[in-house]
A and B are shown apart, each in its own frame.
Chain A
């Protein structure tokens, strides 16, 4: 009996672990231009409860995330990123949020984009 119970518990546990991954990985395209953007994006991600690691790449615009699925999901993270003014694949930042970023980070502006190319 004990054995069966253990097996059931283990199965149940591993099932939930599968369904609700504690270390889920995801990647999100986030718009930005510089290291200041990087700090802001990563900070906004990490300020989302449940996000454990967030690394944004200036060149590819890819944000690599590891988070606890039981506590948050990719949409919440995307929202928080948009709230600090960064457009991403899921959500476009409001103009109000976008206007709050530093003038040199205005990534929607083509002149600013050009400034950050070599």
Chain B
């Protein structure tokens, strides 16, 4: 009330001080819809303004002004003569009533920043739709930086690799909260449905210290869809020729002007037994997965608060093994070889962000997440159960030093992990606690140089007290020519069983070469990562493109070597000697003509480890990889369009770990053959609401014929399902639809 009085008192003062012309602009039509953002200015002057949300404007007036120009894109520009200060009401006519003209620049599906100090590739939802399906592990198929391959011939698990290192060396986070770690390491990527993902950020090399000390080769962050921006209703139905069925539905609703909520449901099932290579084993497991998430989003722009609360629950059941395996009668017997993996997981996470509305560079963020993970499983005669409860919390404060070119981030974090593992008859329990503080400084010259230097100090009950430094730099040497460099250290405790669950689907004897370390008798893993990259944007024949070269080196100070070199054993021991992963990649993106995009990449890996039996190339890691992706979209006509996408992959030969100790019948050559695969997809968009897709994975029907060694004698000493270098099932066709209401 007081305020209104002040305003009333002040109003006449203003009108006296300077003459103002007031008015309102409408869209021409029956209903008087106000036109926000229309330009209003005095002809032949620079005096002007823009209408507000209600179409209203106030513009300074002088006697010599007479012609007022009102304009808005898509509307006819009008000039009106003004003689006095009477309020103006004016309607603008649309330039054409035939069809709405939408001018929009197309957003790139994958983008690389020319400005950030880190080497970050952002994959947005358009790119994710190129591979129709289904969960996070399958969404990297159109990205050459990440390799996806099957972990073994039984569980159907896909494993990802970056810079030649498998996922345990990557920090995988959901909305910047580390999410796939510990017990969920092996299957976690398949626990995040693809339609829940809004975008993915892939950081190569040492990441930021803000997210912890664990990342070594890189970080992958999946940003989930938000209740405020996602569709009100979204349905995705998917069916494949291998009889895999999936259903995704999202419901989002506004609860109040500050609260939004969404319920996301995902179901995934495969119930038919396939054996295309006639080895008596299922080519892929039978499974059922059910996933539900409830998200709450709170936004209060006036006070500067944003908050997310997530509740997630998942159950996943897999059954694999011989065709004749019957879980009721054959479990843990030698009747038939079979395996069951049952997982139950829940997560609660909350984020609160505060940006000072007065001082926009000051912000405070709190993240907290709690998860409970329980896996009960057996593989033939091997029993493996794991329970992992985890608490993560992080407090981040952002500010500047002197001015906005010098930004700082600082904060503290606390994590707690308790593991309860049963491997056959041995119990492995451990509790890990760590508390740490971090400080990150970013300098942006607003020009050529951008530098991020971070340091964190952590105290961990098993890893001790240690320092994690990370440094990133970007230098723009010339237009669109960007050099980057990074260096950083990572440290982690290896979850030797959870990360290497494929070893259970073998007859190998498990040996841990104990040296009285803190974790399974082993020492923590420590590595340094160094990287350089160069990005050059260019124009060729008037069309845009870019080329990226990068080279990364990971050097292990200590590693838990997982030694498969004796086919009757798997050995875990601390590294004694050298272990490194060098990776070189060249990638070219080019749009030869409008709406047609091409991506070509070549990758070279040199990954070697000192095993007890000698310094050897890492098994099942191709030295050479060639990648090509092409996509084309037709112009939009009557709201509809076609989208085409194809991805070709060529993988060079991969080394098999030694099988010399096996009987001759079960020996494998030194290297696997090279292979190539082709995936393609066509999408018909009927309207912004409805689209249908049809696709094929592995059209060339590439198959590894004998993925299981000693499949005919699964309880014999040579049985092994880990020698997988390529697809097992062959070609798979799928179709699906997406329906959404905004």
Query: Which of A's residues lie within 8 Å of B, judged by CB?
Result: 23, 39, 42-43, 46, 51-54, 60, 66
Residues of B within 8 A of A51 (CB): 403
**Pair A23/B358 contact, Cβ less than 8 Å:** yes
- Alpha-carbon gap, A3 to B404, bound state (A): 39
Interface size on B, residues (CB 8 A): 12
Residues of B within 8 A of A66 (CB): 359-360
- Alpha-carbon gap, A44 to B399, bound state (A): 21
Find B360's partner among A39, A42, A53, A60 (CB 8 Å cutoff).
A53
Q: A23-B358, A66-B359 are in contact. Are A53 and B446 (CB under 8 A)?
A: no
Interface residues of B in 326-370 (CB under 8 A from A): 358-361
**Pair B359/A46 contact, Cβ less than 8 Å:** no
Minimum CB–CB distance for B51 against chain A, Å? 13
Residues of A within 8 A of B402 (CB): 52
Minimum CB–CB distance for B468 against chain A, Å? 30
**Pair A52/B358 contact, Cβ less than 8 Å:** no
By beta carbon, the residue of chain B nearest A66 is B359
Residues of B within 8 A of A54 (CB): 404
**Pair B446/A46 contact, Cβ less than 8 Å:** yes
**Pair B447/A46 contact, Cβ less than 8 Å:** no
User: Residue among A43, A52, A54, A60 with the most chain B CB within 10 A?
Assistant: A52
**Pair A39/B403 contact, Cβ less than 8 Å:** no
Residues of B within 8 A of A42 (CB): 446
The number of inter-chain residue pairs (CB within 8 angstroms) is: 26
By beta carbon, the residue of chain A nearest B73 is A118
- Alpha-carbon gap, A42 to B447, bound state (A): 11
**Pair B403/A46 contact, Cβ less than 8 Å:** yes
Q: Is B400 an interface residue (CB 8 A)?
A: yes
Residues of A within 8 A of B358 (CB): 23
Interface residues of B in 28-58 (CB under 8 A from A): 50
24 pairs from A and B in contact (CB 8 Å cutoff): A23-B358, A23-B359, A39-B446, A39-B447, A42-B446, A43-B446, A43-B447, A46-B403, A46-B404, A46-B405, A46-B446, A51-B403, A52-B361, A52-B400, A52-B402, A53-B360, A53-B361, A53-B400, A53-B403, A53-B404, A54-B404, A60-B50, A66-B359, A66-B360
Residues of B within 8 A of A60 (CB): 50
- Alpha-carbon gap, A11 to B360, bound state (A): 27
Secondary structure at the B interface, as helix, strand, loop or mixed, is: loop
Given pairs A39-B447, A52-B361, 12 additional interface contacts (CB within 8 A): A23-B358, A39-B446, A43-B447, A46-B404, A52-B402, A52-B403, A52-B404, A53-B360, A53-B361, A53-B400, A54-B404, A66-B359
- Alpha-carbon gap, A46 to B361, bound state (A): 14
- Alpha-carbon gap, A39 to B447, bound state (A): 7
User: Residue among B359, B403, B405, B447 with the most chain A CB within 10 A?
Assistant: B403
- Alpha-carbon gap, A60 to B48, bound state (A): 10
- Alpha-carbon gap, A52 to B406, bound state (A): 10
Interface residues of B in 482-510 (CB under 8 A from A): none
Residues of B within 8 A of A53 (CB): 360-361, 400, 403-404
By beta carbon, the residue of chain B nearest A43 is B446
By beta carbon, the residue of chain B nearest A59 is B50
- Alpha-carbon gap, A54 to B404, bound state (A): 8
Residues of A within 8 A of B403 (CB): 46, 51-53
Sorted from nearest, which 7 A-B pairs have the closest CB atoms?
A: A53-B404, A46-B403, A52-B403, A43-B446, A39-B446, A23-B359, A46-B405
- Alpha-carbon gap, A3 to B578, bound state (A): 69
Minimum CB–CB distance for A100 against chain B, Å? 16
Residues of A within 8 A of B359 (CB): 23, 66
Residues of B within 8 A of A52 (CB): 361, 400, 402-404
User: Residue among A39, A53, A54, A60 with the most chain B CB within 10 A?
Assistant: A53
Interface residues of B in 397-413 (CB under 8 A from A): 400, 402-405
- Alpha-carbon gap, A23 to B356, bound state (A): 12
- Alpha-carbon gap, A72 to B712, bound state (A): 83
- Alpha-carbon gap, A57 to B447, bound state (A): 17
By beta carbon, the residue of chain B nearest A23 is B359
Residues of A within 8 A of B400 (CB): 52-53
- Alpha-carbon gap, A23 to B359, bound state (A): 7
By beta carbon, the residue of chain A nearest B405 is A46
- Alpha-carbon gap, A52 to B360, bound state (A): 11
By beta carbon, the residue of chain B nearest A42 is B446
Residues of A within 8 A of B50 (CB): 60
Residues of B within 8 A of A23 (CB): 358-359
Minimum CB–CB distance for A57 against chain B, Å? 12
- Alpha-carbon gap, A60 to B446, bound state (A): 21
Minimum CB–CB distance for B42 against chain A, Å? 16
- Alpha-carbon gap, A88 to B685, bound state (A): 49
Minimum CB–CB distance for B142 against chain A, Å? 30
By beta carbon, the residue of chain A nearest B362 is A23
By beta carbon, the residue of chain A nearest B447 is A39
